[in-house]
A and B are shown apart, each in its own frame.
Chain A
Amino acid sequence: MDYHATTPVDPRVVEAMLPYFTTRFGNAASRNHPFGWEAEEAVEKARKQVADLIGANPKEIVITSGATESDNLAIKGVAEMYREKGNHIITAVTEHKAIIDTCKRLEKDGYRVTYLAVRKDGRISLDELKAAISDQTILITIMAANNEIGVIQPIAEIGAIAKEKGILFHTDAVQMVGKLPFNVNDLKVDMASISAHKMYGPKGVGALYVRRRNPRVLLSPIIDGGGHERGMRSGTLNVPGIVGFGKAAEICRQDMATESERLRKLRDYLNEKLHNQLDELYINGSMEHRLPHNLNISFAYVEGESLLMGINDVAVSSGSACTSASLEPSYVLKALGAGDDLAHSSIRFGLGRWSTKEEVDYVADKLTAVVTKLRDMSPLYELAREGVDLSTMVWQTEGH
């Protein structure tokens, strides 16, 4: 149930990829023989499949190694290309690290970055966005849907504001593309990062959508070389990966409506079942503006890592500090203002193509048993039951 982290490759995708490892192994940049032509044709077909999924022109799809590279290319590429025009970038505190850390890097190089706060529901305020814009602003980068809490940002509204002000708009759309309708023209997006492995395609391949008309977006490349991908991203194309990416995009486009509806029902069932079986659950972020397959819940008075230990045959992830390499609780959950204690107690569920009702039942029942057991041994639960207000208690935090 950790489909936000990655997804298995759909068998139909694997089947489409296989010939491109063996008999059709050509380099798509080889212009002088059939091996190259065959590879190029496959890449162009895949490029169209990806473009069709987001309502783009195939020429607007720049293939990359994945969304982290796409995010880097969009932000650094715009920053360098439009340096004369301005040095200000607007983003949000709940963005993926691929965005935040890229912006931090640019700050060291003299750029100014505004990190918009989010409200309790996880969405940015459009008024705050408007207020942050200055004549130096060259880029707004706000994610389509969050990877932890699944909250969908008002992308179309942000796109309209950016267009009106003549500012480029990039969105990290990794979690949304392939799951919900996403059209770059309807949303007035100038650049969008997408990734194959989040939509049942292979790892190591992704794309950056780069608008060619109204306006034509120019990017300085971050990888120089043979001038592949219209000079924006050099490097021999990963043909089997790209073929798989295209096939995955095609399947998503065909099945999206039924798949998202099925997952929404399953997600709502999981949520309802947990709420029926346990008290003091807190949903992190808006339920209304949310990916249909995401649920992020804090199980008050229980620490996330110990919760995961109790359900170690189930793949989910936690915002607890103990489960992260940095030993810090989730910055996304902290940004919602819920308090660090609830961040420590959170579990992210990501349903996907092969999730079943049986699995949901199993997870909900097992979680209920583990939460109940851990609450029985939780001093916080005991204090709360005695009527102590934990938020006003003075804790001995020295040295921790």
Chain B
Amino acid sequence: MAYSTKVIDHYENPRNVGSMPKDDPNVGTGLVGAPECGDVMKLQVKVNPETGVIDDAKFKTFGCGSAIASSSLATEWLKGRTVDQAMAIKNTDIVAELSLPPVKIHCSVLAEDAIKAAIADYKKKQSATSASAAKEVQPTA
């Protein structure tokens, strides 16, 4: 178990651990993995609907050191990016940044899945709110 210093740093000082309200329309939540596989990641993004920029990102992870480091790094990268830029983050970028060994590549894949799931959740909420907003507007029009 020879981890890179970056993995150890993220494990010892994880960035952005925490939770944001799930029902906030500007918050997207991704929950991926399964307890019996030994990894579960919850990743949340808070997006400014005006600009499409991710203002805040939080994570909670059940998993090994590289799973924790991958999700911690993901939250660092997400902040300040637009939703579209966030979708462009690849698991291979995480592997390279953390120097993950081959047996731990699935941790980076899970982090990419978590990002995509969080953004998808945000987009779903946005379309739902805009649709219901449109409905509310109609009768008075």
Binding site for B on A (CB under 8 A): 301-303, 305-306, 308-310, 320-323, 327, 329, 339-341, 344, 376-382, 390, 395-397, 399-400
- B141 close to A (CB within 8 Å): no
**A379-B60, A379-B61, A400-B110 known; A395 vs B33 contact (CB < 8 Å):** yes
Question: 9 interchain pairs (CB within 8 A)?
Answer: A301-B62, A309-B3, A320-B64, A322-B64, A378-B61, A378-B62, A379-B31, A395-B36, A400-B33
- B77 close to A (CB within 8 Å): no
On whether the beta carbons of A397 and B62 are closer than 8 Å, the reply is no
On whether the beta carbons of A377 and B14 are closer than 8 Å, the reply is yes
**Which single member of A302, A329, A397 contacts B34 (CB below 8 Å)?**
A397
Q: B interface, by DSSP: helix, strand, loop or mixed? A: mixed
Give min CB distance, B1 to chain A, whole Å.
Answer: 7
7 tightest Cβ-Cβ pairs between the two chains A and B: A395-B34, A340-B36, A341-B35, A379-B42, A305-B64, A322-B64, A379-B60
Give min CB distance, A323 to chain B, whole Å.
Answer: 7
- B53 close to A (CB within 8 Å): no
Residue on B nearest A390 in the bound complex, by CB: B35
**CB-contacts of B97-139 with A (<8 A):** 103, 106, 109-110, 113, 117
**Which single member of A322, A327, A377 contacts B60 (CB below 8 Å)?**
A377
Rounded to whole angstroms, the CA-CA distance of A308 and B63 in the bound complex is 12
Give min CB distance, A243 to chain B, whole Å.
Answer: 36
Give min CB distance, A333 to chain B, whole Å.
Answer: 12
Give min CB distance, B52 to chain A, whole Å.
Answer: 26
Which of B41, B60, B64, B68 is most buried by chain A, counting CB atoms within 10 A of its CB? Answer: B64
Give min CB distance, A382 to chain B, whole Å.
Answer: 6
On whether the beta carbons of A400 and B31 are closer than 8 Å, the reply is no
On whether the beta carbons of B11 and A396 are closer than 8 Å, the reply is no
Residue on A nearest B63 in the bound complex, by CB: A303
Count the B residues whose beta carbon is within 8 Å of the partner chain — how many? 34
Give min CB distance, B12 to chain A, whole Å.
Answer: 8
Binding site for A on B (CB under 8 A): 1, 3, 8, 11, 14, 17, 19, 31-42, 59-65, 67-68, 103, 106, 109-110, 113, 117
Q: A interface, by DSSP: helix, strand, loop or mixed? A: helix
Residue on B nearest A321 in the bound complex, by CB: B38
Residue on A nearest B110 in the bound complex, by CB: A400
Contacts of A308 in B (CB 8 A): 1
**Which single member of B3, B68, B106 contacts A400 (CB below 8 Å)?**
B106
**A376-B17, A395-B40, A400-B110 known; A306 vs B63 contact (CB < 8 Å):** yes
Rounded to whole angstroms, the CA-CA distance of A340 and B41 in the bound complex is 17
Which of B1, B35, B103, B110 is most buried by chain A, counting CB atoms within 10 A of its CB? Answer: B35
Contacts of B41 in A (CB 8 A): 379
Residue on B nearest A375 in the bound complex, by CB: B62
Residue on A nearest B19 in the bound complex, by CB: A382
On whether the beta carbons of B110 and A379 are closer than 8 Å, the reply is no
Rounded to whole angstroms, the CA-CA distance of A376 and B110 in the bound complex is 20
On whether the beta carbons of B39 and A395 are closer than 8 Å, the reply is no
Residue on B nearest A312 in the bound complex, by CB: B1
Contacts of B113 in A (CB 8 A): 396
**Which single member of A303, A305, A321, A399 contacts B1 (CB below 8 Å)?**
A305
Rounded to whole angstroms, the CA-CA distance of A327 and B62 in the bound complex is 16
Which of B34, B38, B106 is most buried by chain A, counting CB atoms within 10 A of its CB? Answer: B38
Rounded to whole angstroms, the CA-CA distance of A376 and B65 in the bound complex is 15
Rounded to whole angstroms, the CA-CA distance of A376 and B23 in the bound complex is 21
Residue on B nearest A310 in the bound complex, by CB: B11
**A323-B1, A399-B109, A400-B106 known; A379 vs B62 contact (CB < 8 Å):** yes
Give min CB distance, A302 to chain B, whole Å.
Answer: 7
On whether the beta carbons of A327 and B19 are closer than 8 Å, the reply is no
On whether the beta carbons of B11 and A306 are closer than 8 Å, the reply is yes
